[in-house]
Amino acid sequence: MTVLTRRRTVDQPPPLFRLFREQISTSRWYIHILLWIAVIFMGLPLFYAALVSTQNNAQMFRLQLTPGDSFNFNLQTVLDRNIARLMLNTFAVATMVTLGKVVLSIFSGMALVYFRFPGKSLVFGVILAALMVPGEVTIIALFRLVALELGWGNTWTALVVPAVASPTGVFLFRQHFASITPELSEAAQLDGATPLQFLVRVLLPLSRNTVTALVVIMFIGAWNSYLWPLLIVTNPDLQVIQVGLSTLDDGVEVGRTWGPIMLGAVIASIPPILIFVLMQKQFLKGFALARHK
Amino acid sequence: MLSAFLFTCLATVLGALAVGALLRRSNGLRGGLALGAVAGLLGSLTTMVPLKYCVLDPENHMFFRLSVLGQTITVNAVAVIGILLVMAVTWAFALAIDRLRHHWPARGGTVWQADTAPGTFVGYDFSPWIFLAPTVVGLAVFTYYPAAQNFFLGTQLARRGVANTVFNCLDNFASLITSRLQDAHYYILSDGNIWHAENARYLAVFGNSVFFSLFIVLVANALGIAIALLASQKIRGASIYRTLMIWPYAISGVVVGVVFALLLGGGGSGFLNQTLRLLGLQPLPFLSDPWWARASVVAAAAWNKLGFNVLIYVAALQAVPRELLEAASIDGANAWKRFLNVTIPMISPYIFLVVFLNLNYSFFDLYAVIDNLTEGGPVNATTNLVVDVIRVGVESRDIGKAAAQSIVLFMVVVGLTYMQFRVMGRRVTYGAD
């Protein structure tokens, strides 16, 4: 609103103008306070989770708002429950899925923009239509296919292979490549470059933001996926962190032991938050491009 | 055989009448009737031949009771599903034929011809297929094949982990609106109820999904716009505020679920209830009362999505042209009127985008949150469509019924996508862009 107030002063005589300026500074003050309230509101759940991760149940139940003394115990518990293994598994699976998605999407996007072949719009339509089908719609039949017909139950193959074909990625790269001037590929052809050389030397350096945007969404999506691994993987040695979180209970007390679970939740949230916050800018640029073209 | 023949004839005649009436504008009366007859014939044959006209067999029938204005009738659920199915497929055929008839000459040529876009590589006939193969094969095997498989499994008695299946007509679908064990009873404006349903478990599940979607969209968007209005101001540290607010986007549904379980449940004395006690108030049954539990799911999901909404709305608000707001204030519009009449229309494309993204999220991606916050309880109060698919298909091992439910989910996607095209297709801004 401040911006509006200031703009309104365009036709005002000087004394009034000064009056408005004072109003601006006070209203800005309120904005800061309101924004801090919003920030605290957004941060409170995870902040409290971090606090509880240092406490035992007794401290949590009496609403102790200072760090408790059970951090070491909680850490020992989650380590005993093999959180390191779970994190490593998740990292490996998420990396494979992300890498696969990005590489396949780049190739598909390239095929759809830089080549002529019969049935191109049909192929693009088939890929695009898959955007419409959320995984949850097919999950029962997919479970039957992967577990029963392919026999991939309890393998990482089941976690990675069905996930690597990405209509979102293809769409994003197709739009991005289509926005790059065709003169570049014409020039590359005149210089005798093969499509792969053109891809590596020209397209990839021009696609940093799009690649980053895709890596961010795909990695976070893969890291956070829960339902599919819950169904298809039962071997704890192969399990991912999202499913493993509920096993972080110490199993001694009746009901949930909140400390270890919250410690696990905080640890599990660090990688996606870190990636998202660090790559925020490129991520937004990559999307702005996709939206405007 | 005779009943099957009569059924097909009836579908053809009714299809001709219905489609003829609805599409008469683009086809003329006679053309519409012919189109409808063809669609009705195709619609009934393509659905009933694979089903072996089992809908007509009294052995497959299931019933529910319907009370309207005090009058109670018994309705055959299988027949209802069968008729809806034939109608839907007939309508799809009618639209498809209608479109092809009007657009085929113009578009038909281009579908199989390579386009002549500049900058394409010449002399590589096989490379594009090699580039595309993994994606197309992956989608065919892991998206399209299971999606098609749903339609087969939906008509089968199939158990999890067992390869064999047995055809059971439309049982799986009919059991969504009633059940073999106990007939469902729907009351509309009767027995003192405006609307009431007994033994209609799936309807309640559907209702939960709709409830979640409505309120998650409402809360996440109202708060999202409000916070974005603050965060888009030109103030010091604006980008820091934004970063501090959008990170929940990266948090998984599982973490959201367990953290909110700690805040709201915590074995009956979670953070919020302890705080209420300190303030001298009564603790609230956040996860044990059906309505509070639903509200808790909405709160958790809205918190998860809020950051992302703020991110988009900040970008949208910064793109609103200053001149328009100035013009409005010169015309004497106060802040609220400027917001309502200038800002909202200008950011409306983004509002639609975010609303549809949030709708998709709340229909399909709530499983992790619900499973870790309320586990679908108390007594199914927070079981939504996806949670129920897993309940039925994995826990109760009834793959056939779960496939039928997946098709309902698919209908929801189709509906949402159709709405999206209708709304987004229209111009929602005034100039700009």
Residue spans of the domains in chain B: they are 2-100+150-196, 203-425
Distance CA(A145)–CA(B147), nearest Å, equals 11
Contact B118 A186 (CB under 8 A): yes
Considering only CA atoms, which of B63, B18, B55 is closest in space to residue B36? B18
Contact residues, B window 66-125, toward A, CB-based 8 Å cutoff: 110-122, 124-125
Contact residues, A window 108-167, toward B, CB-based 8 Å cutoff: 108, 110-123, 126-127, 130, 132-145, 147-148, 161-162, 164-167
| Residue of A61, A136, A245 to mutate for B, most B C-beta atoms under 10 A | A136
Q: How confident is the model at residue A1, as a pLDDT?
A: 39
Contact B146 A35 (CB under 8 A): no
Q: How confident is the model at residue B391, as a pLDDT?
A: 93
Contact A224 B252 (CB under 8 A): yes
3-state secondary structure of B198: strand
Band of pLDDT at residue B253, cut at 50, 70 and 90: very high
Neighbours of B55 (CB within 10 A): 24
CB pairs under 8 A between A and B: 319
Query: pLDDT tens, B260-288?
Result: 998 987 666 788 888 888 888 888 888 88
Question: With an 8 Å Cβ cutoff, is A206 touching chain B?
Answer: no
pLDDT of residue B109 exceeding 80: no
Which residues make Cβ contacts (< 8 Å) with residue A278, sequence separation at least 6? none
Contact A195 B243 (CB under 8 A): no
- Name the residue ranges covered by the structural domains of chain A: 2-73, 79-292
Q: How confident is the model at residue A19, as a pLDDT?
A: 40
Tokens standing for residue B209: 């999904």
pLDDT of residue B320 exceeding 70: yes
The CATH architecture of the domain made up of A79-292 is: Orthogonal Bundle (1.10)
Tokens standing for residue B395: 């826990």
Q: Is the peptide bond before B248 cis (omega within 30 degrees of 0)?
A: no
| Residue of B112, B246, B256, B259 to mutate for A, most A C-beta atoms under 10 A | B259
- State the smallest CA–CA distance between residue B309 and chain A in angstroms: 13
* Phi and psi, residue A153, nearest 5°: -55, 145
Question: With an 8 Å Cβ cutoff, is B233 touching chain A?
Answer: yes
Tokens standing for residue A42: 């957004």
Give chain B positions within 8 Å (CB) of A272. Answer: 250-252
Confirm whether the ipTM is greater than 0.85. yes
User: Along chain A (293 residues), what's the average pLDDT of each consecutive run of 10 residues?
Assistant: 42 42 55 88 90 86 82 88 93 96 94 88 91 90 92 92 92 89 87 89 89 90 94 92 83 72 93 88 66 42
pLDDT of residue B429 exceeding 90: no
Q: How confident is the model at residue B293, as a pLDDT?
A: 93
Annotation: CATH topology of B203-425: MetI-like fold (1.10.3720)
- State the smallest CA–CA distance between residue A290 and chain B in angstroms: 14
Q: In three state form, how does the secondary structure of chain A look?
A: CHHHHHHHHHHCCHHHHHHHHHHHHHHHHHHHHHHHHHHHHHHHHHHHHHHHCCCCHHHHHCCCCCCCCCHHHHHHHHHHCCHHHHHHHHHHHHHHHHHHHHHHHHHHHHHHHHECCCCHHHHHHHHHHHCCCCHHHHHHHHHHHHHHHCCCCCCHHHHHHHHCCCHHHHHHHHHHHHHCCCHHHHHHHHCCCCHHHHHHHHHHHHCHHHHHHHHHHHHHHHHHCCHHHHHHCCCCCCCCHHHHHHHHCCCCCCCCCHHHHHHHHHHHHHHHHHHHHHCHHHHHHHHHHHHHC
3-state class percentages of chain B: helix first, strand second, coil last, to nearest 5: 70, 10, 25
Query: pLDDT tens, B49-106?
Result: 888 888 888 888 889 988 888 888 998 989 899 999 999 999 999 888 888 877 665 5
Dihedral sign, Cα of residue B383, residue B385, residue B389, residue B390: negative
- State the smallest CA–CA distance between residue B172 and chain A in angstroms: 14
Distance CA(B273)–CA(A148), nearest Å, equals 46
Contact B368 A145 (CB under 8 A): no
Which of A116, A226, A258 is opposite residue B266, by nearest beta carbon? Answer: A258
Could you tell me the CA-to-CA distances from B175 to A6, A161, B76, B161, B188 in Å, in that order? 63, 35, 11, 22, 20
Q: How confident is the model at residue A133, as a pLDDT?
A: 87
